[in-house]
Chain A
Amino acid sequence: EVQLVESGGGLVQPGGSLRLSCAASGFTFSSYAMHWVRQAPGKGLEYVSAISSNGGSTYYANSVKGRFTISRDNSKNTLYLQMGSLRAEDMAVYYCARVKGYGDYIAFDIWGQGTMVTVSS
């Protein structure tokens, strides 16, 4: 079964750090670009970060640039998001998602179940 499973969420104080993981199974992880997408409570989806299939290219939303780092270990079939200098506005459910296609469209065909990050003192 094709699956993504996030972990690492939790409660963190403002200014703190957290590392999220996303374990992939059921497909050739190293063949796919991956994204992190977040959703604040009661709000819509927001692009956070992206990484190419070999990890050589990374991209960040302006809201997290300089504070978050995306990476992957293709030998472990795992995607990561290192989050630092966390703010209240970073509080959200964080999803990892597999990218399907990248030409005249971009789609996320597989999503994890999400992991909640709570930023509060």
Chain B
Amino acid sequence: SSELTQDPAVSVALGQTVRITCQGDSLRSYYASWYQQKPGQAPVLVIYGKNNRPSGIPDRFSGSSSGNTASLTITGAQAEDEADYYCNSRDSSGNHHVVFGGGTKLTVL
């Protein structure tokens, strides 16, 4: 099965732009989806597909993809964006499985 790799931790100054990346072979075939998880809460979908935001997700969240790397960009990070972020995609092994990245802890300074 394939794996997705994320940086364990990233920081950003309040109001600045931050990019969180996710790398893996499956991303050459499939788009990543991105989830935000705050302590003690369930994950929340923030980006899916090519670059789609579910209803209620602020437009400062956007997604992109190139080769084997997917990126989640937060333009003008807010204090409430401090959270863990996970990517996932379909497994390219053809086994109908799903793969998750290890997560990135975002700190807003």
Q: In the complex the two chains form, is A113's CB within 8 Å of B42's CB?
A: yes
Interface size counted on chain B using CB atoms at 8 A: 29
B59-88 CB mask vs A (1 if < 8 Å, else 0) is 000000000000000000000000000101
Given A45-B103, A101-B48, A101-B49, answer yes or no on A106-B33 (Cβ-Cβ < 8 Å).
yes
**Given the contacts A62-B1, A105-B89, A106-B89, A111 and B44 also touching, CB distance less than 8 Å:** yes
- Report whether B45 and A47 are in contact in the complex, using a CB–CB cutoff of 8 Å: no
Closest chain A residue to B46, Cβ basis? A107
Contact A100 B95 (CB under 8 A): no
Tell me the chain A residues, 39-58 only, with Cβ under 8 Å from chain B. 44-47, 50, 57
Q: Interface code A51-88, partner B: CB below 8 Å = 1, 0 otherwise?
A: 00000010101100000000000000000000000000
* CA–CA, A50 and B37, complex, Å: 21
B95 partner residues in chain A, CB cutoff 8 A: 59
Q: A61 to chain B: which residues have CB within 8 Å? A: 97
Give chain A residues whose Cβ lies under 8 Å from the Cβ of B29. Answer: 104
Contact between A47 and B98, CB atoms less than 8 A apart: yes
Whether B54 sits at the interface, judged by CB under 8 Å, is yes
* Contact flag A109-B1 (CB < 8 Å), given A45-B103, A47-B98: no
Q: Which residues of A lie under 8 Å from residue B35 when comparing CB positions?
A: 45, 108
Do A44 and B103 touch (CB < 8 A)? yes
What are the 3 closest A-B residue pairs judged by CB atoms, nearest first?
Answer: A107-B48, A107-B33, A105-B31
> Besides A47-B97, A104-B30, 8 other CB < 8 A contacts?
A44-B103, A47-B98, A59-B95, A59-B97, A105-B50, A106-B90, A113-B42, A114-B42
